[in-house]
Structure 1
Amino acid sequence: MDRREFLTRATALGVSAAGAYALIGATPAAADGHIAPGGTMRIQMDVRALKDPPTFDWPQMANVARGWLEYLVQYNRDGVFEPRLLESWEVNEDATQYVLNLRQGVQWNDGTPFTAADVAYNVTRWCDASIEGNSMASRMAALMENDQLRDGALEITDDHTVVLNLSRPDITILPTISDYAAAIVQDGFSGSPSDNPVGTGPYRLAEIEVGVRAVLERNADHTWWAEGTGAFLDRIEFIDLGQDQAAHVAAAEAGEMDMLYETLGDFIDIFDAIGWTKSEAVSANSLVLRTNQSVEPYNDVRVRRALALACNNEVLMELGVNGLGTVAENHHVCPIHPEYADIGPAVYDPDAARTLMEEAGQMDFEHELISIDDTWRRPTTDALAAQLRDAGFTVTRTIYPGNTFWNDWANYPFSSTDWGHRPLGVQNLTLAYTTGAAWNETAFANEEFDTLLAEASAIADADARSEIMAQIQQIMIDEGVVIQPYWRSIYRHFTDNVVGAETHPIFEIHVHKLGFAA
């Protein structure tokens, strides 16, 4: 296995980061140069309305809230799971019990101590499927019964120790609680954290205006548990300049910006040319072009498979993201995932596509293909529409601005959606395709798939897990669940004096790491 895969596997199952690095004779990446305390950093990023953390559905929400809401575990760009509000964790041999050892001496910014009761409260909420939009519930099945936390699934053994007792083995627990929807709130809190910003982190929310900007300021009234190891800046401004990257270039050239959230397409070369530093992340970030199986004619597998057979994924990658990525295979498991199974490329066969569509009696059906209006999702979807027309299908395009598109993203009959990186292949499959999951936009419901995925999630050895993953991936293809053309390489640019801003595979911005070089 490669270095990244080893670090992810080892730290997820309880090996300390230092221990994992030592085992391969490596050292963690260090910050470039000394960081000068103070200053204001200006970051280009969409500013979205915050909501109850278990319902966070965008990294941008978490990036703002990270100023005061922290996580039990942090997933770093090199694949390591780093303890934050946890000091350490222990996992038994078959991954049915997790012992979470909380960091002592941590306080909420209202002066009360952080204890095991806070963690128990968050786990209980993560397991509450009645919370609308709670994506954590689909990932916590081994702790749940009847859509709630199972009796006996959680024990508080003292103020700083929580034990999770799973009903079946599950290796995804640590990766799941590092995800952006797992921000830790205080016992009893629910709702938008912008309304009552109580947290353990070093910053306070000074301002938030959706679509305009959000501002974090160093919280001088709060003693942060990691004082002296981060939170170097006095002020962080997230500035929303919209989707047009030409506006981002103009702001950069005018000296109004220090860092981008993401650089796309031709603008990668432009930011290189103006002298900004470029960072690239290995990522399983992707786009899926999917049908909703609850809507006719997409409840017919022949129609779904016909659409997939009409598509050349390599062309979609070239036209959508300038070829900056890796061709994908229509099953949403990436070659960088430890359990990926190579079952061959996606098949491109327009003649077979027409035959299937004719068998389904849907050659005359008019497909409305919906996408957001931007610089990569829109052209990818445009290219798909062109390929479907070349195969003889009738397709109209509907393009919505961002706010309109995301209001109803999970319910469109036929549309494109971007999906973020997750450390393990089983994670996105659980989030997006298990029966009844909050983010299951395809309405895919397949008992064999669900059973195999639960079985795969219980196997710690990635090679053994890969054998089951091959079956799961084949089901995705046979059922025509998605057209998934590529895995994106992701980029971020920043000025040469910015430290701690390297691109993260899930677009996380760890605000406590940011600063300016001395």
Structure 2
Amino acid sequence: MTHHQSFTDRAHAAARMYAEEHKAGKLSRREFLTRATALGVAAPAAYGLIGLTAPTPALAQDKPMGGTLRMQMETLALKDPRLFDWSEMGNFARGWLEYLVEYEPDGSLRGMLLESWEANEDASQFTLHVRPGATWNNGDAFTADDVIFNLERWCDGTVEGNSMATRMAQLMDPETSMVREGAIEKVDDQTVVLNLSAPDISIIVNMADYPASIVHPSYDGGDPSDNPIGTGPYLPEENQVGVRQVLVKNTDHSWWGTEVYGGPYLDRIEYIDYGTDPSAIVSAVESEEIDATYQSQGDFIEIFDSLGWEKSEAITASTLVMRFNQDSEPYGVKEVRNAILMAVDNAVVLELGYNDLGTVAENHHVCPIHPEYAELPPMTVDPEAAMALLEEAGHADTEFDLISIDDDWQAASCDAVAAQMRDAGMNVKRTVLPGSTFWNDWLKYPFSATEWNMRPLGVQILNLAYRTGASWNETAFSNEEFDALLDEANGIADAEARSEVMAKLETIMQEQGVTIQPYWRSLYRHFRPGVLGAEMHPTFEHHHYKWAVES
């Protein structure tokens, strides 16, 4: 038996075990597909293990060629992709910068610049197989050297804001904050082996996240649209921050993916920025300036419905987090954080802030749709006890300034939190900032709200947002017990066993009062009849090569 066959057999054995858990009702279909495909089982085979046939993607002849799709979206300045901190950045750059793997709406992972991959039995070693025939738009072949170049960039923890370093921790040397010697092994031009320092079930899933864009070895670290060498089918034609970003089909270079996945169909994609006021987007729809929304929110969902547009819904673990920066007083005091949490009923925040279009969350940022979610006892909401605790901490008269962006649903959610705090007797100020101001310092505010996208695994979120020193740790939360438990959870492939550790992690989050994390959002997108393939993705991804329009 070859090394490749051994890995494949182990992956399928693990997938068969997961399939039995799914049939027993312990795993949802989405959870099963994510876990099985992350280990290297192809989606059709994974579906077969649970007695289903994988959905068949539309072929080229099933979609019309040509045309323009205009989508409303905030257009943000680009930077080094590993520093991307908003999905909108990744979605524009996705026209020419692709990914090793792609997260599908059904929860499965499929190869893009990787054709396939396999994990060993304990997910401590992964073998990556480069896509044959993939090419850069300058004519260079895409090879294992390009994969290694990007992996080494991701593993550079000395670069401030590089969130990929958090995701690649098991490939890094903690002493140097760089890639560890022997962690990445080139077998040949089409094969790379990753030797992890500890098991990590999330490493392939992390390669699908939006900061994991694959750049050419000539990339110099600036705005990637300035010299758009990539492997994708489009090129940037216009990049006006706050106004418009435009992608056009690259007619000078054939896209490698056409023979594999079909497409691209559109000639042109325009992202148009109308700011954060949903009424401006409604006006754009009524005047036929756009063909699709980036996302539809709150009361405006019914308005778009009434205009005759089609609606796409995605059930996700996307959320809004009102977090305390523990490096800022008085939020370094645990009793202050606990008091504020005790004053807030999350169900009220969901109702008033997001029109009940989701499910109530539990202040620990792990969702019931995550495979390792652990159910905890109900939280206590007690405004009188909250104020008593605040008085005991010596902060009864302290003013709390809750900062949010001027986005409709985020501002409304923060208003609901502030109102409940005031009802408890707390002194609360609300500050609402335009996006251009808010985004400049989003990691630094003492008490503010941040939108968080879904990640397929609960451990991914905790690694990114709450591990000591993580580049996206906006709470400044640092807890040795939490970090150690998270290390343990990362190495447990079985979700049921991992949930036992997750229960401890969730409990620490609640007891330490790390965040108000009130609800899980359902996501919506509207588009005019005739728009094809642009349904809402659970992690906001735009797969441009799937999009088409009927005339």
Q: Distance in 2 between matches of 1:289 and 1:68?
A: 34
Aligned to 2:287: 254
Is 1:516 aligned with 2:549? yes
1:88-487 superposed matches below 5 A: 88-145=116-173, 146=175, 147-189=177-219, 190-228=221-259, 229-487=262-520
Is 1:493 aligned with 2:519? no
Aligned to 2:84: 56
Q: Distance in 1 between matches of 2:522 and 2:55?
A: 21
**Selected match of 1:40 from 53, 68, 71:** 68
Equivalent AA in structure 2 for residue 469 of structure 1: M
Q: CA RMSD in A?
A: 1.2
Q: Distance in 1 between matches of 2:530 and 2:53?
A: 24
Aligned to 2:49: 23
The alpha carbon displacement at 1:30 in A equals 4.4
Which whole-Å deviations, capped at 9, do the CAs of 1:82-134 have from their partners, x for residues lacking one? 10000000100000001000001111111111111111011111111111211
Q: Secondary structure at the match of 1:410?
A: coil
The alpha carbon displacement at 1:74 in A equals 0.1
Which whole-Å deviations, capped at 9, do the CAs of 1:366-401 have from their partners, x for residues lacking one? 111111111111011111111111111111111110
The alpha carbon displacement at 1:254 in A equals 1.6
Equivalent AA in structure 2 for residue 364 of structure 1: D
The alpha carbon displacement at 1:31 in A equals 5.5
The alpha carbon displacement at 1:227 in A equals 2.1
Q: Secondary structure at the match of 1:423?
A: coil
Identity of aligned residues (%): 59
Q: Distance in 1 between matches of 2:287 and 2:242?
A: 21
Q: Assess if the C-alpha contact under 8 Å between 1:31 and 1:500 holds in 2.
A: no
Equivalent AA in structure 2 for residue 388 of structure 1: M
> TM-score if structure 1 supplies the norm length?
0.98
Q: Secondary structure at the match of 2:88?
A: helix
Q: Distance in 2 between matches of 1:54 and 1:95?
A: 24
Q: Assess if the C-alpha contact under 8 Å between 2:68 and 2:549 holds in 1.
A: no
Aligned to 1:6: 32
Equivalent AA in structure 2 for residue 475 of structure 1: I
Which whole-Å deviations, capped at 9, do the CAs of 1:227-284 have from their partners, x for residues lacking one? 2501101111111111111121221122221111000011111111111110000100
Equivalent AA in structure 1 for residue 544 of structure 2: V
Equivalent AA in structure 2 for residue 51 of structure 1: K
The alpha carbon displacement at 1:197 in A equals 0.5
Q: Assess if the C-alpha contact under 8 Å between 1:262 and 1:492 holds in 2.
A: yes
The alpha carbon displacement at 1:517 in A equals 4.0
* Gapped regions of structure 1 (runs ≥ 5): none
Report how many residues are paired.
Answer: 518
Q: Assess if the C-alpha contact under 8 Å between 1:101 and 1:160 holds in 2.
A: yes
Q: Assess if the C-alpha contact under 8 Å between 1:121 and 1:188 holds in 2.
A: no
Q: Distance in 1 between matches of 2:428 and 2:128?
A: 52
Equivalent AA in structure 2 for residue 222 of structure 1: H
Which whole-Å deviations, capped at 9, do the CAs of 1:163-216 have from their partners, x for residues lacking one? 100000000101100100000001242222111100011111111100111111
* Gapped regions of structure 2 (runs ≥ 5): 1-26
